[in-house]
Structure 1
Amino acid sequence: MNPQTFAWLVLAASVLAEVLGTLALRYTEGFTRVWPSVAVVACYSCAIWLMSVALKHIEMGLTYVVWAGTGTALTALLGIMWYQEATSVLRLAGLGCIVVGVIALNLSAK
């Protein structure tokens, strides 16, 4: 596997770790519950470490935009699907803009 492909897979794992940490954050009750709090710290630590590994082969700006944008969109979608959070045409359009922006920045880097 070439280093570029590996870096993108590591970045995807970083996004998943960040999203899992954010989902666990919902259950910490202000960091008063031990195991959800441990999960948050572990997931966020893993996400940052994995992102630092991806940075070896992907530009910093692109790495952060993909990480933050994809994580935000995925977290919002999971909130809508699993927690019945409010949804509207405007919210879905905003999520679409995030996805299109991430794709555009990725294409412009090549």
Structure 2
Amino acid sequence: MNPLLAAYGALALGIVSEVIGSSLLPRTEQFTKLGPTAAAITSFIIALFFLSHALKLIPLGVTYAVWCGVGMVLTAAVSMLVYRSPLDLAAVLGIVLIICGVVVMNVFSKNVPH
């Protein structure tokens, strides 16, 4: 398998794990519910494990930008779908700008391995 593909796969798994952990946080009720708390903490540990593997080949700045951008978009989507939290126009515009920034960084930056 291509090592760069594996690194981006690890980054994707890390992002998904982080989104799961973040999405579980409201269910922890400020860490008073054991099951959701354990699941959230476990998800965050798994996310950091995969993030560390992505960092073997992808620079930290790029990895973190993709991590934050994609993670925020996915977390906002989960928030809308699961918790019925609507997004206003400013939030949608901000998310679109973040997506554009991540795309520009990955397509045009000389720091991104291609």
- Matching of residue 14 in structure 1 with residue 14 in structure 2: yes
CA distance in 2, matches of 1:57, 1:89: 37
Gaps of 5+ in 1: none
Give the TM-score taking structure 2 as reference length.
0.91
- Matching of residue 68 in structure 1 with residue 68 in structure 2: yes
Name the residue aligned to 2:79: 79
Aligned length: 110
Question: Percent of aligned pairs with the same residue?
Answer: 35
Detail structure 1 runs of 4+ shifted over 3 Å in the superposition: none
Deviation (angstroms), 1:26? 1.2
Give the TM-score taking structure 1 as reference length.
0.95
State which drifts further: 54-63 or 83-92: 83-92
Counterpart of 1:4 in 2: which secondary structure? helix
Gaps of 5+ in 2: none
The Cα offsets for residues 53-95 of structure 1, whole Å up to 9 and x where unpaired, read as 0100111100011011111111012211222212222111111
The Cα offsets for residues 3-46 of structure 1, whole Å up to 9 and x where unpaired, read as 00000011000000000001111100110000100011100011
- Matching of residue 33 in structure 1 with residue 33 in structure 2: yes
Name the residue aligned to 2:93: 93
Aligned-residue Cα RMSD (Å) equals: 1.0
CA distance in 2, matches of 1:27, 1:15: 19
